[in-house]
Structure 1
Amino acid sequence: MVRFQRFEVEQWMDDYETTPGVLNIAETCVESVSIDQLVQLSNDKAANPLQTSTVLTYGAIRGSSTLRERIASLYEGEQVSSDNVLVTQGAIAANFLVFYGLVGPGDHVICVYPTYQQLFSVPESLGAEVSLWRLHAENGFLPDMGELEQLAKENTKMIVINNPNNPTGVPIPRDLIDKIVDFARARDMIVLSDEVYRPLFHDGIENNPNMPPSVADLGYEKAIVTGSLSKAYSLAGIRVGWIASRDKAIIERLAEARHYTAISVSQLDDQVASYALSPAVRGPLLKRNVDMAKRNAGMVKAFVEQHRALCSWVAPTAGTTAFVQFRSEGKPVDDVAFCRDVLDKTKVFFVPGSHCFGRGEDFAGYVRVGYVGSSAVLAEALQKLAAYVGQNLVQ
């Protein structure tokens, strides 16, 4: 029997997010949109997001050619062709498939930490040895290449990164991405980059010199990226993600493994995804979402600065999440008890860091805030949270 750890962040969401009257600032997607809203954003109002005459067969097994071409166009130049894209049911299926198809007993995997638990728990469940590449707040939650050198082994098969990072909201900059890929290339290691929050960089997408490249843009054959329409594109409900790699052998291996987990994605989901990534829609949608992320991050920044005697963070510059540490009497709070008490007394809902992203006492006192849902909900939640910490935490 496969042994797997409880997926704590998803279990926490399942347990509490339907609490009546909840002010949900745990959600990590940019405020979701409807198909009608996509049409309103579009620069081409005549285009149809759904072909209602389509006969609902399984459709294209690997994803429609239109969708795969539009996903491939997200990467620079001709680094990735449509034949090197595999459409999946969300990025969570994409990540699982990469591990299921490529990792097993006898393999060693290095994974950044903290990150989405799937990225280290799934390879462990498949029999691989996993070393956690710890990110430190005092280093701005950026990976340290010296620590990578110490973690690497002769049987290291894969390095796993998450860029931009969940839960910290910190992107790995270009120079470090280059070094990680060069390190892997010199040792013939696979690099898996979970890029579900790309391209939600708060400084903007166009002409932004600080925006790091996708790992798929760096010319390394054994680089794999996963992405989805859920986070940066506000379309979690269509459950469309993907795997992309220049290495055709990797894509073929994962396509073979995929037959055991899914035949295809829904044709309707495929059509909506294709529409969202069309030139007429993608630009306006991302502008909306980057503007919202920047504005709402400013609201959280104001809260942290106002209560800096009780909390601290590394300010996020990308994505939708922030990792905030709360203290009382100079010590980290019990973040699990803190989150439950805040929810009980204020209806403000977020995620405890040590429980959902750490092991043991790692990341004690931290909570993950998802701040790019409704701006109105965030404003009300921060107001109630301010009253709570003022009454219950001690400097």
Structure 2
Amino acid sequence: MVQITDFAVESWMDAYETKCKYNIAETCCASISIDQLRGLSEDKNREIFDTSKVLNYGAIRGSEQLRNNLARLYSAKVSNPLSPDLILTTPGAIQANYLTAYALVGPGDHVICHYPTYQSLYEVPKQLGADVSLWKAAPSNNWIPSIDDLTALIQPNTKLIIINNPNNPTGAVLPKSFLQQLIDIASAKNITILSDEVYRPLFHSISPIDKDFPPSLLSMGYANVIVTGSMSKAYSLAGIRIGWIASRSASLIEAIASARHYTTISVSHFDEAIAAYALHPSTVHNLLARNVQLAKTNLALLEKFVIKNEDEVEWVKPVAGTTAFIKVSREGRPVDAVDFCKKLLEKTGVLFVPGSEAFGSEWKGYVRVGFVNQTSVVKEGLDEASRFVRRSLEDVALAE
């Protein structure tokens, strides 16, 4: 029997997200309805899906319209356009990441994973029998790991390096110059890189004209790269469960496509049609503009919360994505994050995620905040959290 470690962050959300008043743990940009999506489109008469279409399995590897729209986005500002044939759709990015590991690693392989990050990125390779090393980042370096540490972690059997850019839970980005160093190291040893880019392109605190603005790893010239993405985070459509896998390597795509037959066959017609509509040129720019502005507005509220509680709260301000990793202390000592989050929820209805529970026991006192929900929810929730810190922090246990 496969040994499955509890998926801590999802277990926490499963237990509490329907019981809170202020969900500031959610990692999606505030979700929208189909009617709201249509309202963002510049072409209100364009059909979202054809209800006369026969509901067979459809296009096995993903609808032509959706893969064309994705290929267009990945081909922007690059000299070598990406073929739609090098894209596979999946039921969410979590399936995309699982399939990549399932197709590429197993017993006898070594995997290096950027950390802290979403737990499945390193736990699934372990479950498949691979040896996994964590490539650890620290707040002292703005949550950017060391290239020297990566070099030291590489073994003769290293098969895959996994990064998450922008990062969950920290909101940090790995800059372009750093990504180039990563590619130089991986290409010299023919190591495949998986880049989980589900929070791309939600860049709220770094400009595309910045010389170190991080492009998709897919556009940096190394063929042995796989990127995964999703409609859930930056595109506000978690309910349609659409993700994807893209690579410039036909052999990698074919290996994953072969594995995908065992788990997926095809993805829902309706879900793919909604995703294609959202990513169409008449819609996608307004949708992203809405979400980037929402992120900027709400990040300003979160920064006020940190400043107001500066004796108890510290952070590295996030650059992209929807999450921040915040450390809560009392009299200079980190609190027990689980006790903090449970008592905060009980007394105020505010939901955070305890970092020491969901992202590694070493993150004592850390909580993950998802700040790109509806602005009213974030503002009211943070006001309640401030009152809790001022009035009830003495009741919270300290980390051991």
Q: TM-score range by the shorter chain?
A: over 0.9
**1:12-41: CA deviations, max 9, x gaps?**
00011111x521001000001111111111
Asked if 1:162 corresponds to 2:164, the answer is: yes
Distance 2:157 2:40 in 1: 49
What corresponds to 1:7 in structure 2?
Answer: 7
CA-to-aligned-CA distance 1:89-133 (integer Å, 9 cap, x gap): 000000000000000000000001100000000000000000001
Structure 2 counterpart of 1:143: 145
Q: Please give the alpha-carbon distance, in whole angstroms, between the structure 1 residues aligned to 2:383 and 2:308.
A: 12
CA contact (8 A) 1:199 1:205 kept: no
CA distance in 2, matches of 1:323, 1:80: 34
Question: Does residue 363 of structure 2 align to residue 381 of structure 1?
Answer: no
Q: Counterparts of 1:105-144 in structure 2 under 5 Å?
A: 105-144=107-146
TM-score under structure 2 length normalisation? 0.96
Distance 2:130 2:81 in 1: 30
Three-state SS of the structure 2 residue aligned to 1:53 is coil
Partner of 2:290: 288
Provide structure 2 residue ranges, at least 5 long, that are not aligned to the other structure.
Answer: 395-400
Question: Matched residue of 2:283: which SS?
Answer: helix
**Match of 1:155, as an amino acid?**
N
Structure-2 residue corresponding to 1:27: 26
1:66 is matched with 65
Q: Is the 8 A contact 1:168 1:321 kept in 2?
A: yes
**Per-residue deviation at 1:208?**
5.4
Partner residue, 1:178? 180
How far does the alpha carbon of each residue in 1:183-227 deviate from its partner, in whole angstroms, 9 at most, with x for none?
Answer: 100110000000000000004776555531111001111000000
> Which position in structure 1 is the counterpart of 2:352?
350
Shift of 1:382: 0.5
Question: Structure 1, unaligned stretches of length 5 or more?
Answer: none
Say whether residues 1:372 and 2:372 are aligned partners.
yes
For residues 354 and 276 of structure 2, the distance between their equivalents in structure 1, rounded to whole angstroms, comes to 36
Q: How big is each residue's C-alpha offset from its partner over 1:237-285, in whole Å with a ceiling of 9 and x where there is no partner?
A: 0000000001101101111100111111100011101100000000000
Does the Cα contact within 8 Å between 2:177 and 2:212 map onto a contact in 1?
Answer: no
Taking only aligned residues, the RMSD between alpha carbons, in angstroms, comes to 1.3
The aligned counterpart of 2:392 is 392
SS in 2 for 1:74: helix
Shift in Å at residue 306 of structure 1? Answer: 1.3
Query: Equivalents in 2 of 1:60, 1:207: separation in Å?
Result: 38
Q: How big is the shift at 1:80? A: 2.2
Mark the CA change 1:145 to 1:75 in structure 2 (over 3 Å): closer, same or farther.
same
Q: Give the match for residue 199 of structure 1.
A: 201
Whether the 8 Å CA contact 1:329–1:393 is kept in 2: the answer is no
Kindly provide the amino acid, as one letter, of the partner of residue 123 in structure 1. Answer: P
Residue identity opposite 1:6 in structure 2? D
Following the alignment from structure 1 to structure 2, what is the Cα–Cα distance between the partners of residues 221 and 335? Answer: 41
1:300-347 per-residue CA deviation (whole Å, 9 max, x = no partner) reads: 011101111101000001000000000012100000111001001111
Q: Give the letter for the 2:300 counterpart.
A: G
> What secondary structure, in the 3-state scheme, does the structure 2 residue paired with 1:393 have?
helix
Give distance in 2, aligned partners of 1:180 and 1:306. Answer: 38
Distance 1:357 1:261, change over 3 A: same
Q: Assess if the C-alpha contact under 8 Å between 1:79 and 1:217 holds in 2.
A: no
Distance 1:206 1:82 in 2: 25
Q: Give the Å deviation of 1:4.
A: 1.5
Cα distance in 2 for partners of 1:206, 1:318 equals 12
Give the AA of the match of 1:54: K
Note if contact 2:206-2:320 (Cα within 8 Å) is conserved in structure 1: no
Rounded to whole Å, the distance in 2 between the matches of 1:26 and 1:7 is: 16
Deviation at 1:181, TM superposition (A): 1.1
Is it true that 1:328 corresponds to 2:330 in the alignment?
A: yes
Map 1:140-289; keep pairs closer than 5 Å: 140-203=142-205, 207=209, 209-289=211-291
Shifted more, 74-83 versus 275-284: the winner is: 74-83
CA deviations over 1:64-90 (Å, ceiling 9, x no partner): 111111111121333421010000000
1:40 aligned partner:
39
- Equivalent position SS for 1:231: coil
Which amino acid is the alignment partner of residue 3 of structure 2?
R
AA partner of residue 368 (structure 2)? R
- Write out the 4+ residue segments of structure 1 that deviate beyond 2 Å after TM superposition: 76-80, 203-211
| Contact persistence 1:99–1:123 (CA under 8 A) | yes
Query: Take 2:267 and 2:210, find their aligned partners in 1: how far apart are those partners?
Result: 34
Offset, 1:52 = 1.3
